[in-house]
Structure 1
């Protein structure tokens, strides 16, 4: 296996991850409630988000947290997201950038949970 080295690797990472999310009994209904069948805008945003984080190429323009703040999610949803995210990465890639993706995914989940479940939290995202 190789590391995440290109935009096509990011696309593969994102597409295979969300293929798993769509059919997941816990996460799928929440994503379908928000996204419906119109996945393309979300996927395009995720490609640029992860490209920005992993390749330090500032192509993502947005603030991810506000879109998640009012969703009906709990700690178990973040745990499932991380389980699927890390398993997906492990099935496709190995190397320092893949490991960085796992660390960044965990950091995002921790910050989102702190902001959602801790009153007056002002932690920065990523």
Structure 2
């Protein structure tokens, strides 16, 4: 028998300890670090005028990603396609995210967040490359 959304969320919470408070702490700290990062800050600062709104949107996004809460509705691929980024930007994004998650979260929660962040980064990099007319082969990175 398939679990309901509520049962799935309860299982994730029980297994990882992830809740909305932890998501908010992770999101706010991660973006604080991004805003101080030499590689990523220029990309974000040029495009985000209202950080409060962005952070609330990212909390809803990560709640949906980590807990399947359904709080986020949007089209992240469309927002990211025009960005002037390369594989190096995604590597830096993942590095900051992984460090932040490992510092703030229990090992099961960090692993849960990081696994999803890796999939998101890979998907966005492939989508941005395709939008630019570049078809990346397995193991290739966006230049």
TM exceeding 0.5:
yes
1:72 aligns with 2:90: no
Contact 2:98 2:110 in 1 (8 A): no
TM (norm. structure 1) is 0.87
Write out the 4+ residue segments of structure 1 that deviate beyond 3 Å after TM superposition.
Answer: 118-121
1:60 aligns with 2:52: no
For structure 2, list consecutive stretches of 5 or more residues without a partner in the other structure. 1-15, 136-143
Aligned counterpart, 1:51: 63
Tell me by how many angstroms 1:4 deviates: 4.4
Tell me by how many angstroms 1:51 deviates: 0.6
Tell me by how many angstroms 1:120 deviates: 7.8
Tell me by how many angstroms 1:97 deviates: 3.2
Q: How many residues align?
A: 118
Q: Which has the larger radius of gyration?
A: 2
Aligned counterpart, 1:92: 104
Higher relative contact order (CA 8 A, sep 6+): 1
CA distance in 1, matches of 2:87, 2:118: 13
Tell me by how many angstroms 1:96 deviates: 2.7
1:18 aligns with 2:10: no
TM (norm. structure 2) is 0.77
CA distance in 1, matches of 2:79, 2:17: 27
Secondary structure at the counterpart of residue 47 of structure 2? helix
